[in-house]
Structure formats: C-alpha cells, structure tokens
Amino acid sequence: MTLLVVATGNPGKLREMQTYLADLGWELQLKPPELEIEETGDTFSANACLKASQVA
C-alpha cells in the first residue's frame, strides 16, 4: 500500500480524497499537526508546492 501525506489539517479534505482513492490501494494521512505551513504563494499551485516541500 502506498502512503500519501495530505498537506492539510482539514479532515474533511482527507475524507473526500479517501473516497476517490480508496479502491486504488492508497493510504492517506494528514500532515503532522505540529507542522504549520504559511500559505504565502500567489496561487493555489504555489501554495501546494510550499506545502509539498515542507511535508517531504
């Protein structure tokens, strides 16, 4: 099973993603609660990159 860390603290987003990926063998997990990521990017994509680099 492949683990995917979702760089959000929102459990609703995690549940939504689990619905889409459940049959594909992915295990989803929220980012560590102590990891706070400031969204300073100008776009959704820039903020996603910031989060991904912090979680990796």
DSSP string, 3-44: EEEES-S-HHHHHHHHHHHGGGTEEEEEPPTT-------SSH
Higher-pLDDT residue of 1 and 3 is 3
Task: Identify the CA nearest to 6 among candidates 29, 22, 25, 27.
Answer: 29
Express each pLDDT in 24-39 by its tens digit. Answer: 988 898 888 888 889 9
Summarize the confidence of residues 40-44 as an average pLDDT: 95
Which residue range forms the structural domain that includes residue 20? 2-55
Number of structural domains, the chain? Answer: 1
* Most confident residue range from 7-11, 26-30, 43-47: 43-47
Summarize the confidence of residues 1-15 as an average pLDDT: 87
Contact 2, 26 (CB under 8 A): yes
